Amino acid sequence: MFQGADFRVLGLLALFLVAGLILRSGVGHRAPKALVPATALGEQRFLLNNDGFTVVYDTNVKSPVCVRYTLLPGRSKKPDRTAGTVFPDNRFAGNLQPKNADGLILMPLVPALALSQIYGEDIRARCYLATSMALRSDSKLAILWENTWRVESELAAATSGRVEIAAGPVFSDPAPTTNDGTSIPYAFFKIISSYATGETRAFIFPQAPVSDSLSDYLVSIEKIEMVTGIDFSEFKQPKSE
C-alpha cells in the first residue's frame, strides 16, 4: 500500500507532467509558452510558470538557473498562468533590495518592459521577483544585459517574427556564496533565436566585463552547454513560424 510520502512524490510527478503538457500544448489563443530543456530540471530544481516567461529555480544555489521567454512583433492576448508551479510561491520583490554586504545586487533576467508590452502590465511585478533575478556585481554587466534586451526587441519588430530567448547565470563548482547561502555566478549566458531569419546568437558575459561591445562576448551554443550542463539543442535546429 502507498504511504503518505509515496502520495506526495506521486503528486509532485503529476504536477510536473501537467506543467509539461500545458507548456507544449499551445491551447487556444495563449501566447507561446517558453519551453525549458529537460536537462535544466532535476531533484532540487523547480519549474516556475509565469505569464510570458518560465523560470527554472535551483534550491541548492538559491537562484534561477535558466529563464525562457518569447518576444512577438505584436501584442498577444494575456495568457493564462499555467497550473504547474510546484515551488512555493513565496517570492519577494528583489528589486527593492539594496546591495548586500558583498557589494552585490539582484539583476532581473527577463525584460519587464518588452514582456509587459506583449503580455500585459501584470507581468511586470513577476519580472522583479527574487526567483527571476540573479546576483551581479558590476554596473557594466547590467548595461550589457539591457543592450541584449534592446537587440531582442528590435529583432522581433524588424522581422515581424517570433524571437525565442534562453538566459541565466553560470556557476563554478563549488560556487562562492553570500552570507545567506545564495550562490554567486561568475558569468551570465544568453541565447537569442529569430524564427523569421533563422539567426541565433549566443553570449557569455563575465561578472566584470571589460568591453562595451556585445560582439566581444559572442560564443557558440556548445560553449554555453558546456558551462551550464543544459542541452540547448532546440536552438541549433532550423526555425519556422
Dump pLDDT digits (tens) for 145-166.
999 999 998 888 887 788 999 9
pLDDT confidence of 236, banded at 50, 70, 90? confident
- Domain-embedded: residue 200: yes
Predicted TM-score (pTM) of this structure? 0.75
Encode burial over 93-124: b for 16+ CB neighbours within 10 A, e otherwise. ebbeeeeeeeebbbbbbbbbebbbbbbbeebe
pLDDT confidence of 209, banded at 50, 70, 90? very high
- At residue 74, the pLDDT reads 61
pLDDT confidence of 129, banded at 50, 70, 90? confident
Do the beta carbons of residue 114 and residue 152 sit within 8 Å?
Answer: yes
- Domain-embedded: residue 81: yes
Q: Across residues 176-191, what is the average pLDDT?
A: 92
- At residue 78, the pLDDT reads 44
- Domain-embedded: residue 124: yes
Q: What is the CATH number of the domain that holds 121?
A: 3.40.570.10
- pLDDT tens for 95-115 read 445 455 567 888 999 999 888
Classify strands 53-58 and 133-136 as parallel, antiparallel or unpaired. unpaired
Q: Three-state SS for 193?
A: strand
- Domain-embedded: residue 152: yes
- pLDDT tens for 76-86 read 444 444 433 33
Number of domains in the chain: 1
For the record, the C-alpha cell of 221 comes out as 551554443
- At residue 202, the pLDDT reads 96
Q: What percent of the chain has pLDDT over 90?
A: 34
* H or E element, residue 47: strand 45-50
- Domain-embedded: residue 222: yes
- Domain-embedded: residue 22: yes
Q: Three-state SS for 150?
A: helix
- Domain-embedded: residue 241: no
pLDDT confidence of 75, banded at 50, 70, 90? low
Q: Three-state SS for 155?
A: helix
Classify strands 163-170 and 187-194 as parallel, antiparallel or unpaired. antiparallel
The alpha carbon dihedral of 86, 88, 90, 93 has a sign of: negative
Closest by Cα among 172, 165, 164, 166 to 207: 172
The single-letter code of the amino acid at 38 is: A
- Domain-embedded: residue 16: yes
For residue 160, the enclosing domain spans: 4-236
User: Who wins on pLDDT, 27 or 128?
Assistant: 128
Q: What percent of the chain has pLDDT over 70?
A: 68
User: Who wins on pLDDT, 220 or 199?
Assistant: 220
pLDDT confidence of 222, banded at 50, 70, 90? very high
